[in-house]
Chain A
Amino acid sequence: MEVQVLPGRVPIIDVDGEIDHYAVPELENKVMAFIEEGHTSIILDFSDVSYIDSAGVALIILSIQKSGPLGGKVGLVVTNKNVLKILEIVGITKLAEAFSLYSSVEEALADMSEEHRG
């Protein structure tokens, strides 16, 4: 996991590899701590994620539940079609509150930075 924080920009949390029941506990602690530090809006960059299961889905939902009440939003970037299918099956792609799905980091930054400033 790599975190990019630049002034005036929504922080990007770059995750790669497989997000399964083994990887999630450590990842979840880091993401939750990061939001608690005051980064209420985040971009989860899953462009290089090749695999996700229900634990990874729970991580996304927990992030939304954490950032939403603080007035923030989670932007999720997914490009792998297999990963996208799992997210569609569980209904995450239909969430509209405090969450948006993007197909690139650039798209997420352009959309969320506007809200971030305003």
Chain B
Amino acid sequence: MVESGHHIEKKLDVQSHTKNLSLIRNEIEDAASACGFDDAEIYQMKVAVSEAAANAIEHGSPLGEKNRVHLTIECNPDRISIEVVDEGVFKARLPVTDGRPSHRGRGIFIMTALMDEVSITEGQEGTSVRLVKLKDKRSFREREQSSA
């Protein structure tokens, strides 16, 4: 954990396996709680991050369990930002459903419904999903309006 002023950052690398999703959720719970979020917000973040990590494991890990999922959690006074990065190769990660309903689209939908910002960056060395939750949306909106 790196702490400098208002900014707290934590990095986590885990083996690419769905058994580690609960470990990731526990880390998010601890970090979001320390960052000052309430129980409902923490639950929403756990679901969103777990979806991003599940995508990384199931679609962004060409070597399976040999790949790793990289998480960076940043707590700022007004928000928490969580970045989930996989090691997938862009062309290898076209959606494959083998005839079953794909969780993937639903997972992305859940992420966007639960977080304030979701950005997905596809790179040659992997996909990065950045999830942001604002701490106090009302005062944030008021600040934005007053500065506009």
A residues contacting B by CB (< 8 A) are 18, 20-22, 51, 53-55, 57-58, 61-62, 82, 85-86, 89-90
Using a CB–CB cutoff of 8 Å, the interface residues on chain B facing chain A are: 18-19, 21-22, 25, 40, 43-44, 46-47, 50-51, 54, 57-58, 100-101, 103-104, 106-107, 109-110, 113-114
A20-B54, A86-B47 known; A57+B106 contact, CB < 8 A: yes
- Determine the main DSSP class of A at the interface with B: helix
Contacts A53-B51, A58-B101, A82-B43 given: A22-B110 contact, CB under 8 Å?
Answer: no
Nearest CB to that of A57 among chain B residues?
B106
Mostly helix, strand, loop or mixed at chain B's interface? Answer: helix
A89 touches B113 (CB 8 A): yes
A90 to B110, CA, bound (A): 7
Cβ–Cβ contact B101 & A61, under 8 A: yes
| Cα distance, A21 to B49, chains bound together (Å) | 13
Contact of B103 among A18, A21, A22, A82 (CB under 8 A): A21
Q: Which of A21, A61, A62, A89 has the most CB of B within 10 A?
A: A21
Given contacts A18-B22, A54-B106, A61-B101, 19 further A-B contacts (CB under 8 A): A21-B57, A21-B58, A21-B103, A22-B21, A51-B25, A53-B47, A53-B54, A53-B107, A54-B54, A54-B103, A54-B104, A57-B103, A58-B101, A82-B43, A86-B110, A89-B109, A89-B110, A89-B113, A90-B109
